[in-house]
Amino acid sequence: MSDYLFLANRTDVFFVVSIIIPTFVVMKQTASRLLNVGGRLISLSRPQVMGILNCTPDSFYAGSRQQTEQEIVSRANLIVDEGAQMIDVGAYSTRPGAERVSEEEEMRRLRFALSLVRREQPDAVISVDTFRPDVAKMAVEEYGAGIINDVSGGNPNGAFGSTVSPSADMITADYPPMFRMVAQLQVPYVLMSSAATIHDMILGFARQVQQMRDLGQKDIILDPGFGFGKTIAQNYELLKQLQQLQMMQLPVLVGLSRKSMIWRQLDVTPEESLNGTTALHMASLMKGVSLLRVHDVKMAVESIELFLAMERVEE
């Protein structure tokens, strides 16, 4: 029986994580992880930064909106100049209440942005933030996108912004279209969860990862989905327990940057939430996270440098 299916069939995940695998052992797992991005091996033994480039008019943080050629070029260059080797391009805002965008419009925006990013930063790893299989296919085949960052949470219907984790019946009925597409494209895939608890998240990830393995998908990155289907308190409870995802032995990405769990908690605005973001990035790194998806690249890179300095002293 598959390890993932064995885990998915257990009801005592917390026992397995908290007793059988002590927290201090989980947090010290530092085995090298490699992503195969178009034949290029990217090591995650050192945490990496993924800079956000939103070619949208309505992303929740105004500072992340780039629409003109000059804005997109400037942002792509800044991301790389400040130390990131991954650029996450999105054309559909995931903020609550955002405008619904047709597939045609999402593709139009992405084609415009991706052509500029590829021209300006040909060596950067391009990640595309989408929930639509055909958009993913276009980005990979036409512009060489190296990672698909799926914001649907593995919803079998490909629905955007689902706040409910797929049930066992939904998952076993058929493979989500995005799973099939990414397995066909053979690019690394970010699997996000909208589950509100670490227990439900691990069970859901176990089933979904097994499905992807069945389809032949090799590179899978887990995203706990901060802000998706969770209250502020649940977000912080998840952050407190984040090291438990290390039992999946897959790299973990977090997208905490300037989110409402920070600025609402501090009673500030998204524009004033950089300090809080940096604090939570360091907390995430201490929980074993491999990828930080951020608006402020320089600050995230500095957080990683300080974290690694601390790790070297401990050794």
Is residue 293 annotated as a catalytic residue, yes or no?
Answer: yes
Could you give the C-alpha distances from 49 to 52, 213, 254, 292, in angstroms and in order? Answer: 10, 26, 10, 5
d(CA 108, CA 251): 31
Q: Among 258, 259, 287, 298, which one carries the catalytic annotation?
A: 259
Amino acid at residue number 285: L
Asked if residue 190 lies in contact with residue 150, where contact means CB atoms within 8 angstroms, the answer is yes
d(CA 212, CA 26): 24
- Compute the Cα dihedral for 175, 178, 184, 189 and give only its sign: negative
Asked if residue 236 lies in contact with residue 254, where contact means CB atoms within 8 angstroms, the answer is no
d(CA 66, CA 55): 5
Count of positions (residues) in the chain: 315
Is residue 119 annotated as a catalytic residue, yes or no?
Answer: no
Token pair in block for residue 163: 């706040």
Token pair in block for residue 180: 């099939």
Owner of token pair 């974290």: 307
Beta-carbon contacts of residue 9 (< 8 Å; ≥ 6 apart): none
Beta-carbon contacts of residue 102 (< 8 Å; ≥ 6 apart): none
Q: Among 230, 293, 298, 312, which one carries the catalytic annotation?
A: 293
Phi, psi (rounded to 5 degrees) for 51: -85, 140
Known catalytic residues are 259, 293
